[in-house]
A and B are shown apart, each in its own frame.
Chain A
Amino acid sequence: DAGVTQSPTHLIKTRGQHVTLRCSPISGHKSVSWYQQVLGQGPQFIFQYYEKEERGRGNFPDRFSARQFPNYSSELNVNALLLGDSALYLCASSFQGRETQYFGPGTRLLVL
């Protein structure tokens, strides 16, 4: 049984560019959450989606957006990239957005 998958694994962009990160949840899970993890810190919550509806939004600028598709996969979009956006972006899935979350391997984004 596959766990949470994310693509791409690594990405290098330059300032001002746009990036799209993708996540597929565990089969049967209907909720996806996105987190940003900078080196030396814990994951910071960005978005949570359940049944294609946004359920929660963290303290991130409007350059960050996300959506969830009918198959429960999700995309995280970041516009006008800044150097400070360099981080590991983690996706986590859960059943109905409750409690236990299972993380994907992450996408490591480097902005030059």
Chain B
Amino acid sequence: GENVEQHPSTLSVQEGDSAVIKCTYSDSASNYFPWYKQELGKRPQLIIDIRSNVGEKKDQRIAVTLNKTAKHFSLHITETQPEDSAVYFCAASRPGGSYIPTFGRGTSLIVHP
């Protein structure tokens, strides 16, 4: 089955810095890669996703890049703010009868004011 590795497990940055979280996946058939943000005690919320037919996608301060050849994808957050502090999860899923994502273990992002 699919295996998703996520690094780093913890990331501490100063407000205004950029943050990058990286994930690798094992199944070359995976073609959908969502990123979720989970604040303490709350539900995971989708913040951005990318499909394998594109290499990069941006939404304001958030961007995701995908390298299909190397089977890795990354989340980039620019101009970080304290409210960006949360646990971020990447996931990968393959096409078929159902899109069942495999999640990474999460990255705890801490943004210091």
Listed in ascending order, the chain A residues whose CB lies under 8 Å from chain B are 4, 31, 33, 40-45, 48, 50, 55-56, 58, 90, 94, 97-106
Contact = CB atoms under 8 A, between A and B. Distances in A.
Contacts of A50: 98
B32 A99 contact: yes
Contacts, number: 59
A55 B98 CA distance: 7
Contacts of B4: 42
A31 B91 CA distance: 19
Contacts of B100: 33, 45, 48, 56, 58
A39 to B, nearest CB: 10
User: Which of B42, B45, B98, B101 has the most CB atoms of chain A within a 10 A radius of its CB?
Assistant: B98
A90 B91 CA distance: 15
A42 B49 contact: no
Given A40-B105, A40-B106, A103 B45 contact: yes
15 contacts: A31-B98, A41-B105, A42-B104, A43-B44, A44-B103, A45-B100, A45-B102, A50-B98, A55-B98, A56-B98, A56-B100, A97-B98, A99-B32, A102-B46, A103-B44
- Which secondary structure dominates chain B's binding surface? strand
Interface residues of B, number: 24
A44 B46 CA distance: 16
Contact of B101 (A45, A55, A104): A45
Contacts of B93: 99
B103 to A, nearest CB: 3
B113 interface: no
A23 to B, nearest CB: 12
Contacts of B104: 42
B73 interface: no
Contact of A100 (B6, B44, B46, B103): B46
Interface in B25-67: 32, 34, 36, 42-46, 49
Interface string B1-42: 000101000000000000000000000000010101000001
Given A40-B105, A42-B104, A99 B43 contact: no
